[in-house]
Amino acid sequence: MDRIFFNKMAFYAYHGAFSEENRLGQRFLVDLELMMDLKPAADTDDLDRTVNYASVYEAVKGIVEDHTFALVETLAERIADRLLTDFPLHEVMVRVTKPDPPIPGHYESVGVEIRRKRS
């Protein structure tokens, strides 16, 4: 299956299990892989036969910035649901990364990755 990808879309939002995360906010990075047959679009050079990247970005931005969830797992699931509902995709991979979570220790980041298929 062909793939369209988005790497490290950056947003500032208010997700987290701790009250200070909901009050102060933090950076979130979102990566996507969108699986679909891209040959019809490539053969016809027709945007209507693929997905509009700007529309995908705006859909993700709206979910990340306009809602508050305790868990990044919930955030990732909402993004996957929206993309599979609004776009002609066979499967999606959504990775949500918190580069600066308020937990002690030495690490680069924490996050989740989910894969969902159209049912």
Task: Say if pTM beats, i.e. exceeds, 0.85.
Answer: yes
Within 8 A by CB and 6+ apart from 113, the residues are: 76, 93, 94, 95, 96
- Stretch 2-19: mean pLDDT, rounded? 96
Active site residue 98: yes
> What proportion of the chain, given as a percentage, has pLDDT over 70?
100
- Measured CA to CA, the distance from residue 110 to residue 47 in angstroms comes to 35
Give the residue among 109, 110, 19 at the shortest CA–CA distance from 70: 19
Residue ranges of domains in the chain, CATH in brackets = 2-117 (3.30.1130.10)
Residues 8, 61, 98, 117: which is the catalytic one? Answer: 98
Q: Per residue in 45-103, pLDDT tens?
A: 999 999 999 999 999 999 999 999 999 999 999 999 999 999 999 999 999 999 988 88
Cα 76 from Cα 26, distance rounded (Å): 16
**Residues 6+ positions from 53 with CB-CB distance below 8 Å:** 4, 6
